[in-house]
């Protein structure tokens, strides 16, 4: 059967019109910075405890605050990093006690939902947006973490049940090398800006702009002269944001940074911060009072977990109390995640010797040197 020739241009016109109708034409992006709240005058407090053990090896925690004020944590754990039994585990802090962890993403479940082979899963990111709790995590079909693809799932009931994950299309070449580590930022149009990174051949940060219905509508590269990874981003106002990145080596051994002055549409490499980074993940939080808080490792290795505060949007930094400090260079306290709850309490979760996840809760008075 042969189509009449006049029909082809007609089909093309219909198709191009349909595609143009469907193509996103978003407004200029703007951040939705968290509202500034009055400083809490409560006395200094600090408490730390291990999260319940899920499996022998644990890594890469992430935190979110649920609508009812409970704190949720997720991380990946299994026999060892990259093992076939690694799953994303989830627990909530309710009345001072963590619930028994349960799996919310597995290798088999991801393969079933995406109808594609999956060899291993890793890095989760939680984010509470109204009544929706988002989970992004990476999965690999072939090779190492550089071959990661991004998956997304949503819970409408505070993490009790989850929709089947969908794989996001973020790269044209085998859809590989998009990873996440830090939570997204809310945008003024109802969408989200998700910090991501690429590590196949080149290593650099990325910014994925998501529409209110979860579609990717833009992807922006954060270019540095040397390798960088794992951006964590804080909005300073509607237009300006600061990104800090892991020094992917061989760099200056300091936390790298980038800035945006147009709501995340473009990112410009900025000077490395005067803070050490031994090629390790960092976390950043804009506190309710407007100050910035960074958690990261010391210069030597991952055997120190340190905090730094900036009172002037990241221009100057000063040390806050030390969280972990061991002389043993093989000790590992790494991959911090930060969250400030609506009650002002600051939550920190981090990998503890790869054996588990430790959680610390403290307030701004403790950060300022107060003694609990």
Partner 1 sequence: MSPTAIYGFLTHGIVFGAFVALLQLGSKRRILALAAIPVALVAGIASFMHGIIGTPSLTLLALAIWQLAGRTPSPLAYRPALILIAFALPFYAMALGLGPLDPYALGYQPLPLLAASIPLAALLWWRRLDCWLLILALDLAGYASGLISNLWDALFDPLLVLVALAVVIGQHVRSSVASSG
**Which residues are near partner 1 by CB under 8 A?**
3, 5, 8-9, 11-12, 14-16, 18-26, 111-118, 141-142, 149, 164, 166-169, 171-177, 198, 200-204, 215-221, 223
Contact predicate 196/170, CB 8 Å? yes
Measure CA 78 to chain center. Answer: 20
Q: Which residue has the tokens 């054996």?
A: 355
Q: Which two tokens stand for residue 362?
A: 């403290």
Of 198 and 302, nearer to partner 1 (C-beta) is: 198
178 within 8 A of 194, measured Cβ to Cβ:
no
Nearest-approach distance from CB 200 to partner 1, in angstroms: 6
The runs of H, that is alpha helices, within 105-192 are 107-114
Between 73 and 105, CB nearer to partner 1? 105
Of 124 and 248, CB closest to partner 1: 248
CB-nearer residue toward partner 1: 264 or 336: 264
Give the residue among 26, 16, 19, 17 at the shortest CA–CA distance from 218: 26
C-beta of 86: minimal distance to partner 1 in Å?
17
Contact between 297 and 254 (Cβ < 8 Å):
no
Closer residue to partner 1, CB minimum distance, 156 or 169: 169
CB of 287 to partner 1, least distance (A): 33
Does residue 254 have a cis bond before it (omega within 30 degrees)? no
Nearest distance from residue 128's CB to partner 1, in Å? 23
Q: Which tokens hold the place of 313?
A: 């949007």
Q: 18: part of which helix (H) or strand (E)?
A: helix 7-22
- How far apart are CB 96 and partner 1 at their closest, in Å? 39
């Amino acid at each position: 059967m042969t189509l009449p020739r006049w029909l082809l241009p007609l089909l093309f016109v219909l198709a191009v019109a349909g595609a143009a109708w469907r193509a996103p034409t978003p407004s200029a992006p703007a951040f939705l910075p968290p509202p500034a709240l009055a400083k809490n005058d409560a006395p200094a407090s600090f408490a730390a405890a291990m999260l319940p053990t899920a499996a022998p090896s644990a890594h890469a925690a992430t935190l979110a605050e649920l609508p009812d004020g409970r704190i949720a944590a997720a991380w990946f754990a299994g026999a060892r990093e990259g093992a076939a039994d690694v799953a994303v585990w989830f627990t909530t802090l309710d009345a001072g006690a963590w619930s028994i962890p349960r799996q919310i993403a597995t290798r088999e479940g991801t393969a079933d939902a995406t109808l594609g082979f999956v060899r291993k899963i890793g890095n989760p990111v939680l984010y509470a947006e109204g009544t929706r709790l988002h989970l992004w995590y990476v999965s690999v079909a072939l090779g190492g973490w550089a071959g990661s693809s991004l998956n997304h799932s949503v819970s409408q009931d505070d993490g009790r049940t989850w929709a089947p994950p969908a794989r996001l299309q973020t790269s044209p070449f085998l859809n590989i090398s998009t990873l996440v580590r830090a939570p997204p930022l809310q945008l003024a149009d109802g969408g989200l800006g998700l910090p991501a990174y690429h590590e196949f051949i080149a290593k650099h940060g990325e910014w994925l702009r998501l529409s209110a219905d979860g579609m990717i509508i833009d992807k922006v590269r954060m270019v540095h002269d040397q390798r960088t990874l794992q951006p964590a981003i804080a909005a300073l106002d509607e237009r300006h944001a600061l990104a800090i990145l892991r020094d992917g080596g061989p760099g200056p051994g300091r936390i790298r940074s980038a800035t945006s002055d147009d709501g995340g549409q473009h990112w410009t490499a900025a000077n490395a911060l005067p803070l050490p980074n031994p090629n390790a993940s960092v976390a950043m939080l804009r506190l309710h009072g407007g100050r910035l808080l960074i958690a990261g490792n010391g210069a030597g290795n991952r055997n120190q977990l340190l905090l730094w505060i900036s009172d002037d949007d990241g221009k100057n930094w000063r040390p806050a109390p030390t969280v972990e400090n061991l002389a043993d260079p093989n000790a590992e306290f790494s991959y911090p995640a930060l969250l400030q709850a609506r009650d002002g309490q600051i939550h920190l979760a981090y990998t503890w010797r790869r054996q588990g996840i430790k959680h610390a809760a403290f307030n701004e008075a403790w950060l300022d040197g107060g003694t609990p």
